[in-house]
Structure 1
Amino acid sequence: MLKIAPLLLFLTLISNLTFAQKNTDKSSALTIGLIEKLASKELGEERTISIYLPEDYKKNDTTKYPVIYILDGGVNEDFIHLAGIVRFNTQPWINRFPRSIIVGIENTNRKRDFVFSVPNLDFVEKMGFKKESFPVQGSAKYIAFLEKELQPYISKKYKTTAQKTVIGESLAGLLATEILLKHRNLFNTYIIVTPSLWWGNESLLAEAPKLLKTGNNSNVQVYVGACNKEEDLTMYNDALALGEVLKQDGVNLKQVHFDYMPNEIHSTAIHQAVYNAFKLLYPKTAYQK
């Protein structure tokens, strides 16, 4: 019994300590948004959607909010850090633009979803990719998913205004550019960062002047960001060309900004670019009105 008693005493102390910890622990989960699953007929698969609602969002009041869509929008992609930029800019002491709903679309295969169909893939090898990396070009289906499924779903479930922003970088920037040129009415604000306009031997750039002459441009504003040109001169030149053609041929576009970021490389540009975009597109804060 003498040998057992110390063990019992030890177990009793551990039990009491555990009980005390359970009763004094005041930690709780930090929640910044919602995760939803949306079955897509257009894509033939289920998509994961991350959603951030403004702090004062109330289901039963009449306030409506603009929506910001992030194409590389998974929790492990750009959703969390870009949501932070939006939240910062919409705080009442800054009030750069209205508090907004953020919708992040998690990727399943961005090399399929963000590129449009081309007659051949010979050009991808000179950009350092293998042809088999792009077996299917499915941007048409993805754009249909945005237009026919995701946007109506968000508008029906949440209290939204007609103001919609899209953020896309690299291949997602290519998709955002395609939407801007061919389906302009889907968004009012386009934030396009280091877009992969080399796709299709710059065919989208070649079509841009003609495409910009169609559709209503009056409520559309565009930011184009480019990273250090020494890292990738082709992507810099393409981003610069896009900015120039938008300014020259984008008749009645509300505003266009080209932003060269020499201190950023392709992998770091997105965060700084989005911050810069909001400052350029919405230059006034609560104290500058």
Structure 2
Amino acid sequence: MKYKKTIPFILLALIINFNAFCNEISKTPFILGDTLSFQSSILGQKREINVYLPEGYKHNGEQTYPVIYLLDGSKEEDFIHIAGLVQFGSFSSLKMLPKSIVVGIANIDRKHDYTPPSTHPLDIRDLPTHGGSAKFIQFIGKELQPLVNKTYRSNQENTLIGQSLGGLLATEILLKHPQLFSRYIIISPSMWFNDAKLLNNPVSPTHSPKAVYVAVGKEGKVMEEGAKQVYNKLKKELPTSSQVNFTYFEQLDYNETLHLAVYDAFKQFYMEQ
């Protein structure tokens, strides 16, 4: 009888202890970085960027950092996993790349912003809002980069990452405005757009990037040949002072390529020179 009477008291003590433990738990938001919203006078739109700051940024007020600009950079797109890759690659135990700021450019209409005008009937049909890349490039150079340089401690050593239509835009910037970035990572560029007429533009003779990395997965003849066209043009026309690399990921499809390609680009830019 004594044993049976003791059981409720034991259960009551356990419940009290459990509740006390639960009351000690605190919950705070996990903050990866900053989100900046601002009005673009060039685009006539409110735009948003996501910003990852490297470890130690807030404690070392004198140090400046390279900036990696990421197209398709919203939280629902590629920002989180590319920021994580940059963090991993800059661990002191690895030192695959220098500690860097990551700026993810969130989209409103990527089919408009990432494409030049086209006369191809399929482009006109399938991408009816296309043709806004000139203004978007102006926005990057005249509004976005000055804003980032003013707000964060940038050393103005800039890298651009773009995939698919983002790769098309990165190629256009490299050919027409190469001074905007020191390094370019161009993944699976959509050179099918307007029958790759973008490649008729010559490489600038006055501004050459430090390095360019082009990659594509097993994505079909059109995508694979388009990426190789970009690489062959740049390898032929850029000066030997520019590091130009190409990787074909035959084991990966389009959806798998970006993450491993960016990792490989960092290795080739910084560890295999």
Question: Equivalent of 1:215, from 195, 206, 215?
Answer: 206
- Residues 1:239 and 1:132: Cα distance change in structure 2 (over 3 Å): closer
Q: How many Å separate the matches in 1 of 2:48 and 2:166?
A: 17
Matched, 1:225 2:215: yes
TM-score by length of 1: 0.84
- Alignment partners' CA distance in 2, 1:73 and 1:274: 14
Q: Give the C-alpha shift of residue 25 in structure 1.
A: 1.2
The correspondence of residues 102-141 of structure 1 with structure 2, limited to 5 A, is 102-118=102-118, 120-124=119-123, 131=125, 133-141=127-135
Q: What are structure 2's unaligned runs of at least 5 residues? A: 1-15
Confirm or deny: 8 A CA contact 1:171 1:196 kept in the other structure: yes
Gaps of 5+ in 1: 1-15, 125-129
Partner Cα distance (2:107, 2:92) in 1: 33
Q: How many angstroms apart in 1 are the aligned matches of 2:248 and 2:138?
A: 32
Change in CA separation of 1:39 and 1:18 when aligned onto 2, cut-off 3 Å: farther
Q: Do the aligned partners of 2:71 and 2:106 also contact (CA within 8 Å) in 1? A: yes
Distance 1:192 1:132, change over 3 A: closer
Aligned to 2:12: none
Matched, 1:155 2:127: no
Does the Cα contact within 8 Å between 1:194 and 1:236 map onto a contact in 2? yes
Match of 2:186 in 1: 192
Conserved in 2, the CA contact under 8 Å of 1:212 and 1:251?
Answer: no
Q: Which amino acid aligns with 1:122?
A: P
| Sequence identity percentage | 39
Q: Distance in 2 between matches of 1:153 and 1:20?
A: 49
Q: Deviations over 1:78-120 (max 9, x none)?
A: 00000111001111111122100100011110000000012x2
Shift of 1:20: 4.5
Specify the SS of the correspondent of 1:99: coil
TM-score (norm 2): 0.89
Report 1:51-200 matches (<5 A).
Answer: 51-58=51-58, 61-118=61-118, 120-124=119-123, 131=125, 133-200=127-194
Q: Decide whether aligned partners of structure 1 residues 21 and 47 sit closer, same or farther in structure 2, where only a CA change above 3 A counts.
A: farther
What is the rounded CA distance, in whole Å, between the counterparts of 1:136 and 1:194 in structure 2?
Answer: 19
Is 83-92 or 53-62 further displaced after alignment? 53-62
Q: Distance in 1 between matches of 2:104 and 2:125?
A: 29
**How far, CA to CA, are the matches of 2:238 and 2:27 in structure 1?**
53
Deviation at 1:253, TM superposition (A): 4.3
How big is the shift at 1:19?
A: 7.6
